[in-house]
Chains A and B, each alone.
Chain A
Amino acid sequence: MNKTVNQKAWFLILPVLLLVAFSAVIPLMTVVNYSVQDTFGQNQFFWAGLDWFREMMASERMWDALGRQIAFSGIILAIEIPLGIFVALNMPKKGFWASVCLVLMSLPLLIPWNVVGTIWQIFGRVDIGLLGYTLAALGIDYNYTQDFYAAWATVIVMDVWHWTSLVALLAYAGLQSIPDAYYQAAKIDQASRWKVFRFIELPKIMGVLMIAILLRFMDSFMIYTEPFVVTGGGPGNSTTFLSIDLVKMALGQFDLGPAAAFSIMYYLVILLVSYVFYTVMTNLDKRDGH
């Protein structure tokens, strides 16, 4: 659609601008403010320059949290994206069962995040949970509050359970938009199922798949509630991801300076990925001819 130039459109944007400025810019400036100052308490601040940033860059704690975060995001992407595509390929194309699948698959997406935590907290317990009980009955030593591997496995399976449907629904939407003629042409060429996927379906859903990957990356990169409820970041610090660590630092220990420096670096990463996301979105729009 060709848009007309109209500077007066700014008046329509103004309410959003004011509201978001109030709820985003003011807090961010507070964070910037703290990140370059130190305090003795009683609201006395003095200039600290980039000291906090230097401290955070040398902080083992932050690098460890970042490492765990990247490992977590990487693992869940490696599972959810292929699994999501696979599920989407197996979904019924239309009719009653398509609706049933859509409704049931959307269900985990709409559960409050803390309840997702609660569900898995209960489900994984050896005494009262189906999963924990079954594993214990099979003779597997499983305790997500004590054991490093069990905690990680629980957090990852929980995330797969929670979000694979989103990838599947996006891929499904992409698959639905492929015209039938493509499949008929493939049939005439006697293309194998794999070739159909590789040369027709995959290229056609690449756009939505990029959206899915970036969304999952962003959301997993700031995950807080679910692991907080299930493992509380433990055992030890083994499931303390960036957001959990940041909240501990800022609201638990009230280390304003380091927390603020941490926040800003965290935010810059998000900004970078957002830019990639935006570029992908606008390229997709151009391709669709909007």
Chain B
Amino acid sequence: MSDLTNTPAKRGFALPKIKGNAVVMGLYLLFLLLPIYWLLNMSLKTNTEILNSFTLWPRDLTFANYVTILTDPSWYTGYLNSMAYVLMNMVISLLVALPAAYAFSRYTFLGDKHLFFWLLTNRMAPPAVFALPFFQLYSSVGLFDTHIAVALAHCLFNVPLAVWILEGFMRGVPKEIDETAYIDGYSFSRFFIRIFTPLVASGIGVTAFFLFMFSWVELLLSRTLTSVNAKPIAATMTRTVGAAGIDWGVLAAAGVLTIIPGALVIYFVRNYIAKGFALGRV
């Protein structure tokens, strides 16, 4: 291969370039991580230290802020509420999106392109437009301040997202597999559950991750549709900000805890982040 003849020359002039790259990346990552570090730093300090002295790292390391959140029901129920509607939303979205994505990836039918476009417009629709009507809709059917209301409201953008991402993965599976299975006498449901779903398992995992994330980060709808019983952690945090005295340490700790679920799985989905955000294209 031409690589053999190339390598010495390449190395000769590439070495300083790599250093330049490393500097750029180092600066960029520093820019990304400094604010996050600062949040972490705050969460490990006492409020006296935060307000009375300016320190680059916690001198008086404390986990009291985390203890407050994990023991005070008004804080930890926020996490439980968020988890509850996020998981419900994930299950609902995946269940309805799987067959639909299969249909879009395999068949043409009347209005398929329009429907696919219409789904996209819902992914793009501003939640602010839907906040008031959702509030009235779910109040009138008696679902206001329940987890399922938020889960259903988030379906507005999560179901289209799931359909688009899953379709992107499913079109990569050769159609011959379907045909062989049907010839072998599989019924559609048996084929879909036994053969097809395992084939797109990584796609389902990535989709689940993005469903989780977009529901987890959303504030406007979840805050509008809840008051006490299903109040999400995001709303708990913004309401604390509104109060007269702000407990910065606890607020920072709450922020750190909301980052953890995403950070835990980030390594496994690192190669699919771009694909997920680009709705399964790329």
Could you list which residues of chain A lie within 8 angstroms of chain B, going by C-beta atoms? 1, 3-10, 12-13, 15-17, 19-20, 22-24, 26-28, 30-31, 86-87, 90-92, 99, 101-115, 118-123, 127-131, 133, 161, 165-166, 169-170, 172-174, 184, 208, 211-212, 215, 218, 221-222, 224-225, 228-229, 242-244, 246-247, 250-251, 256, 259, 263, 266-267, 270-271, 273-275, 277-278, 281, 284-285, 290
Judged by a CB distance under 8 angstroms, whether B218 is at the interface is yes
Q: How many A-B residue pairs have CB under 8 A?
A: 296
Is A128 a contact partner of B50 (Cβ separation < 8 A)? yes
B 214-264 contacts with A by CB, 8 A: 216-220, 224, 234, 237-238, 241, 248, 251-252, 255, 258-259, 262-263
Is A170 a contact partner of B277 (Cβ separation < 8 A)? yes
Q: Once the chains are docked, how many angstroms separate the CA of A114 from the CA of B270?
A: 23
Is B266 a contact partner of A113 (Cβ separation < 8 A)? no
Q: Once the chains are docked, how many angstroms separate the CA of A194 from the CA of B100?
A: 45
Q: How far is the CB of B258 from chain A (nearest CB, A)?
A: 5
Is B38 a contact partner of A122 (Cβ separation < 8 A)? yes
Q: How far is the CB of A112 from chain B (nearest CB, A)?
A: 4
Q: Of the listed stretches B21-29, B58-66, B67-75, B194-202, name the one at the interface; the rest are far from the partner chain.
A: B21-29
Is B274 a contact partner of A119 (Cβ separation < 8 A)? no
Q: Once the chains are docked, how many angstroms separate the CA of A114 from the CA of B25?
A: 27
Is B262 a contact partner of A13 (Cβ separation < 8 A)? no
Judged by a CB distance under 8 angstroms, whether B177 is at the interface is no
Residues of B with C-beta under 8 A to A278:
116-117, 120
The verdict on A270 contacting B156 (CB below 8 Å), with A27-B130, A87-B24 known, is no
Is A229 a contact partner of B156 (Cβ separation < 8 A)? no
Is A27 a contact partner of B134 (Cβ separation < 8 A)? yes
Q: Once the chains are docked, how many angstroms separate the CA of A257 from the CA of B60?
A: 55
Residues of A with C-beta under 8 A to B267:
99, 103
Which 3 residue pairs spanning A and B have beta carbons closest together? Answer: A110-B262, A27-B133, A222-B126
Is B217 a contact partner of A111 (Cβ separation < 8 A)? yes
